[in-house]
């Protein structure tokens, strides 16, 4: 049976689960937050990664309800962690289509009001291509998120066709440096120089930068040498179910 025809049922049956991958400050090894990454616990196929079904979700017209589900799960999890004494910033991936959803802002506002979760703990990740679908709409949405107290990051930064334009046009809190720049940074001088430039650019624009796909201590060391202090990647932790994030929480600053 085609996965596509099963999506709606899967959403109703809550077969989608959020996993959380730590983001860290490399010098102190302190966790600064997590990215929520969805997994499909498929009854027959086992665990499916988003690469195998996100496109289908987007094409099949359920992306609006799908994202409402993931954001709601993430906000509920923020609340659970708060009850345990930790403020854990969580980023949720959005699709381009979510920016075109007139009712999305209202949904988020209601959700935050209903749960009492601080918007400062919520972040949205957008890819460059998602923001390009309609740059004016993206600009407006990101501005509204900011007015609401929600941060926006640009995911896979550097892989789009006009990365500088996004920085100029959009009110971005954080740039997530695509893992393709990190992969060979210990071997390829050019990659190291490009990252050095991106870090300097972000710094001068007061935009945070986090390196993705950090897998080795050598990569981490070079990134730190380039003044890139924040990272995400298998070296620091894979995406795990919420319960397994628990062991990482004590490394966070405790609640004030
Ligand atoms: O885990 P995997 O490598 O298959 O992830 C592939 C892509 O899916 C990543 O770019 C990630 O940003 C995206 N992704 C992960 N979770 C979600 C989600 O909840 N919603 C959307 N729209 N994309 C997601
Ligand atoms: O595009 P996005 O950055 O949202 O993609 C997230 C995906 O990247 C997840 O599927 C996650 O499992 C994967 N990922 C996270 N850290 C690493 C890493 O260090 N190396 C590789 N190859 N993939 C990673
Ligand atoms: Na992401
Ligand atoms: Mn990415």
Q: What's the pLDDT score for residue 250?
A: 72
Q: Which residues of the chain have pLDDT under 70?
A: 1, 253-256
Distance 61 CA to ligand 2 centre (A): 25
Cα separation of 23 and 178, whole Å? Answer: 14
232 lines ligand 1 (CB under 6 A): no
Phi then psi for 238, rounded to 5 degrees? -85, 165
Distance 234 CA to ligand 2 centre (A): 8
Q: What's the pLDDT score for residue 252?
A: 76
Token pair 């749960």 in the structure block, residue: 115
Q: CB of 112 within 8 A of CB of 75?
A: yes
Q: CB of 152 within 8 A of CB of 145?
A: yes
37 lines ligand 1 (CB under 6 A): yes
Q: What's the pLDDT score for residue 248?
A: 78
Measured from the Cβ of residue 9, the count of other Cβ atoms closer than 10 Å reads: 10
CATH number among 3.20.20.450, 2.40.50.140, 1.20.1090.10, 1.10.580.10, domain 3-244: 3.20.20.450
Q: Ligand 1, residues 7, 20, 50, 233: which to mutate, most atoms within 8 A of Cβ?
A: 50
Q: What's the pLDDT score for residue 235?
A: 96
Torsion of CA 148, 150, 156, 162, to 10 degrees: 30
> Minimum-distance ligand to the CA of 178?
4
Distance 51 CA to ligand 3 centre (A): 11
Q: What's the pLDDT score for residue 253?
A: 58
Q: What's the pLDDT score for residue 1?
A: 67
The interface predicted TM-score of the complex, written ipTM, equals: 0.95
Secondary structure (DSSP) of the chain: --GGGGHHHHHHTT-EEEEEEEEEETTTTEEEEEEEEEEEEETTTEEE-GGGTHHHHHHTT-HHHHHHHHHHHHHHHHHHHHHTT----EEEE--HHHHT-TTHHHHHHHHHHHH---GGGEEEEEEHHHHHTTHHHHHHHHHHHHHHT-EEEEEEETSSS-HHHHHHHS--SEEEE-HHHHTTTTT-HHHHHHHHHHHHHHHHTT-EEEE----SHHHHHHHHHTT--EEESTTT---EEHHHHGGGGGGSPPP-
Q: What's the pLDDT score for residue 251?
A: 74
Residue range 105-130, pLDDT digits in tens: 999 999 999 999 999 999 999 998 88
* Beta bridge mates, 240: 20
Q: What's the pLDDT score for residue 256?
A: 38
64 lines ligand 1 (CB under 6 A): no
Domain ranges of the chain: 3-244
What does the radius of gyration of the chain's CA atoms come to, in whole angstroms?
18
pTM, two decimals, is: 0.96
Q: Ligand 1, residues 59, 93, 101: which to mutate, most atoms within 8 A of Cβ?
A: 93
Residue range 19-41, pLDDT digits in tens: 999 999 999 989 999 999 999 99
Residue 76 token pair: 């509920």
Which atom of ligand 1 sits closest to the CA of residue 92?
19
Residue 112 token pair: 């935050």
């Amino acid at each position: 049976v085609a996965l596509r025809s099963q999506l709606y049922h899967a959403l109703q049956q809550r077969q989608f689960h959020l996993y959380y991958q730590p983001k860290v400050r490399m010098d102190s090894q302190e966790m600064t937050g997590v990215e929520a990454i969805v997994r499909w616990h498929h009854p027959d196929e086992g665990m499916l990664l988003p690469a195998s079904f996100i496109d289908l979700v987007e094409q099949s017209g359920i992306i609006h309800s799908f994202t409402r589900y993931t954001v709601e799960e993430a906000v509920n999890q923020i609340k659970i962690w708060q009850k345990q004494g930790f403020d854990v910033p969580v980023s949720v991936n959005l699709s381009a289509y979510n920016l075109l959803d007139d009712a999305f802002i209202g949904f988020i506002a209601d959700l935050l009001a209903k749960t009492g979760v601080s918007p400062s703990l919520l972040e949205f990740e957008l890819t460059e291509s998602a923001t390009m679908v309609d740059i004016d709409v993206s600009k407006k949405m990101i501005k509204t998120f900011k007015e609401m107290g929600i941060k926006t990051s640009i995911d896979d930064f550097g892989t789009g066709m006009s990365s500088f334009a996004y920085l100029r046009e959009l009110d971005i809190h954080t740039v997530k440096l695509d893992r393709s720049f990190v992969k060979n940074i210990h071997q390829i001088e050019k990659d190291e120089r490009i990252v050095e430039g991106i870090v300097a650019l972000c710094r001068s624009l007061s935009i945070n930068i986090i390196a993705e796909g950090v897998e080795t201590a050598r990569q981490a060391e070079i990134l730190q040498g380039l003044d890139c202090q924040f990272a995400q990647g298998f070296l620091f932790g894979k995406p795990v179910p919420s319960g397994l994030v628990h062991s990482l929480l004590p490394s966070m600053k405790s609640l004030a």
